[in-house]
Amino acid sequence: MDICFLEGYFTPGHIYSKVAVNHLPFVIGRKLDAGLPIDADTISRHHAEIFSCNGQLCIRDLGSTNGTFLNDNKIIQSTPIEDGDILRLGDVELRIIIDHWNTTLLDKQEHTYLSTGNVLEKIVRGAKELKELIQLKQVKSLLQPIFDHQLAVVAYELLGRGNHPLLPESPGALFYIAEQRGAEIALSELFLEAGLLETSQYPQDYNYFFNIHPKEIEDKNILYQRLEKIREIYPHTKLVLEIPEKAVSDIEQMTDIKNHLHALKIGLAYDDFGAGQARLLELSEASPDVLKFDICLIHSIDTASHARQRMIEMLVNYSHDQGIRVLAEGIETANEDKVCRQIGIDLLQGFYYGKPGERVSC
């Protein structure tokens, strides 16, 4: 059965919370007898109510002083509500969630508050559109070339982009929305699906680096099943899985992941190395096949202090001692390229060589 929730900053402590609409009609207002009482001067005593009309959920304004707005449109008459809609009463914003839920849990208490644990400046727009994007697979993949020390193309990285007319293309912005709805894994899987399809247009002797969301590591069994399915569909594609540095925190776990990947003939790369805490212990105890230096280490390396250049060179040498290839990403100038190659970095990536989506022949 579909159950409606409202989420936003409506508790006394302004904690981002969720409440179940566990009876109809459901009144929202300032008075304590409301289904959702909100102590805010801009909200009327009985401001608006959610009710059932013609088999669907609708909302209507109850003669409030400051009006009720749905997706920034003022409600004049009873209006149907959908999953992902943004409701504004006075200066309080609520997001509508319509989902499947065990209704027996809702009958036990008048209010069901669930803190989401997210700290947001405001309700994130685009949840409704993101649902459409995932359902309709409105994404695309751009492949960015990776070069070796001799400037020959040896690999590509699969980079996902949104393709919904009302949402940004940026994967970062899309994941920000997805993380508020628990849809980050679904979005990640969709990006990878689009990327793998795109590899059919490229030479099969290249390596193809792909990313996953950190949340996907939380359940290794599900991750392994997904990787096994990918290998079944793409038996000959050379793949390298990139795991974000911040997700590399358990040596035993990473060793297990590495062994499973190698059994599937998939390489392992640690991504964004240097962007946060440099996990040197993991490099020795659960060493990857490739270590990707974050752009923060590489940017302006040609004009960096001798101490910084020496530090990066030492990291390169240490990685080589462990049998790890080093990839520098974010290279944008000829001088950055020159220094990176001088200190022995194996693989090179950045706008200097080719932007995402550009076919490069060398």
CATH code assigned at 217: 3.20.20.450
DSSP type of residue 176? H
- Whether 221 and 262 map to the same domain: the answer is yes
Please answer whether residues 308 and 316 qualify as being in contact, where contact means their C-beta atoms are separated by less than 8 angstroms. no
The side-by-side arrangement of strands in the sheet containing 56-61 is 36-37, 26-29, 48-53, 56-61, 79-80
Is 216 domain-assigned?
yes
- Give 256's strand partners: none
Please classify residue 109 by burial: count the beta carbons closer than 10 Å to its beta carbon, then call 0-12 exposed, 13-18 middle and 19+ buried.
exposed
Report pLDDT digits (tens) over 247-304. 777 788 889 999 999 999 999 999 988 766 556 777 778 899 999 999 999 999 999 9
Q: What is the pLDDT of residues 89-128, one digit of tens each?
A: 988 899 998 875 444 444 444 444 444 444 444 566 788 8
Instruction: Express as a percent the part of the chain with pLDDT over 90.
Output: 66
Residue 282 and residue 165 share a domain: yes
Instruction: With CA atoms as reference, report the closest residue to 189 among 146, 141, 155.
Output: 141
Verify that 40 and 147 share a domain, yes or no.
no
Predicted confidence at residue 152, as pLDDT, reads 94
Q: Would residue 146 count as lying in a domain?
A: yes
Q: What per-residue confidence (pLDDT) applies to 118?
A: 45
SS3 330: coil
pLDDT for 105 equals: 40
Sites in the chain below the pLDDT cut of 50: 101-121
Q: Hey, is 276 helix, strand or coil?
A: coil
Radius of gyration for the chain, computed over Cα atoms and rounded to the nearest angstrom: 25
How many Å apart are CA 162 and CA 240, to the nearest integer? 23
Identify whether residues 235 and 272 lie together within a single domain: yes
Rounded to an integer, what distance in angstroms lies between the CA atom of residue 290 and that of residue 328? 10
Q: 165 and 288: one domain? A: yes
DSSP state of 24: S
The CATH code of the domain that includes 25 is 2.60.200.20
Give me the helix-helix angle, 171-181 and 127-136, nearest 10°.
100
313: amino acid identity, one letter: E
From first CA to last CA, the distance across the chain in angstroms is 57
Note the pLDDT of residue 316.
95
Pick from 103, 123, 143: which residue ends a domain?
A: 123
Q: Are residues 101 and 137 in the same domain?
A: no
* Residue 340 structural domain: 129-348
3-state secondary structure of 69: strand
Indicate whether 360 belongs to any domain: no
**Do 195 and 229 reside in the same domain of the chain?**
yes
308 in the same domain as 239 = yes
Task: Say how many domains are in the chain.
Answer: 2
Residues with Cβ within 8 Å of residue 213, at least 6 apart in sequence = 175, 184, 185, 187, 188
* pLDDT recorded at residue 113: 46
Give the model's pLDDT for residue 123.
66
